[in-house]
Amino acid sequence: MLRALREIEGGVKLSVNALGRLGRLRRPPIRESFLRQIYFTGVTAATGVVLRASVLGVLIIAITMDVLDADVDLAVKILLLLVFREIGPLAAAVVVILRTGTAISAEVAMMRISGQTRALRHLGINLYDYIVVPRVAGVMLATMVLTFYIQFLAVLGGLLFSPLIIDATFMELSGRFFALFSPVDFVYSTIKSLLFGFTIAACCCYHGLNPPSLTQNAVPQVVTRAVTQSAMLMLGINAVFAYIVFGILFFGLVTAKV
């Protein structure tokens, strides 16, 4: 219990300090690290999700119309709800955790164990500026872009290839999609993806900077803790968003057109 409280306190402190120092990204060395993080997190991961995201949209529309015997309006509405509000941000976050979360936690832990962080302190370099800020900002931005990329591919794949399986034309599906699409869907997924990226990067940096011991054996433990807690935090954030958007609506406190 005490350890959990220490981790929560340390994570919150790291998160607040990282947010307060985002202006340091203007400095060339930190900006270069920030750009490298974006490339590793977003660009290198983009090619691996093309086919999966495209098939996702087809499956959602095809299953909705064929199995549930739904019309075009309901199928497209479910596509919007699932891809833009739920599956898109979650899929991007899972990719980021598995690829970038493991890399960040292991890299930062090795820097801590090998004494690189101590050397940086002796040189008067702030660890938050050099290690935490570029990684947090880079992962946030890359997660948001990766979310939009997955959403675009899923929607495009669903609209293009679903007519090959179900009795609906591309014009019907695309027409209903643009008629039902709301800026709220875009804002919702943007906020969620940014929070996912921030939480994953901050959690992995915290565990990397605070390994259980200063031996090589601590690296796997750091990676396991970082990935596990990142996933739990991501699911917690998603549950809060789902309650705010769907749970409160069901209780009638506010009304919204979905």
Instruction: At 74, list the tokens.
Output: 């309901």
Domain ranges across the chain: 47-250
What angle in degrees, to the nearest 10, is found between the helix axes of 72-79 and 170-180?
60
Ranges of residues in the chain with a pLDDT under 50 are 250-258
Give pLDDT tens digits for 107-151: 999 999 998 888 888 888 888 888 999 999 999 999 999 888 888
Unique residue bearing structure tokens 């979310």: 147
Neighbours of 255 (CB within 10 A): 6
Q: Report the amino acid identity of residue 184.
A: V
The CA distances from residue 43 to 49, 88, 145, 153, in Å, are 11, 17, 9, 15
Radius of gyration of the chain (CA): 21
Apex 225 CA angle, 224 and 231, nearest 5 = 90
Q: Are 87 and 113 in contact (CB under 8 A)?
A: no
Give the residue among 52, 37, 19 at the shortest CA–CA distance from 142: 37
Dihedral, 25, 28, 34, 39 alpha carbons, nearest 10? 150
Unique residue bearing structure tokens 């660009």: 43
| pTM of this structure | 0.85
Instruction: At 9, list the tokens.
Output: 């306190």
Q: Where are the alpha helices (DSSP H) in the chain?
A: 2-20, 28-38, 44-46, 50-66, 72-79, 88-96, 102-114, 116-122, 127, 133-161, 170-180, 183-209, 218-242, 248-250
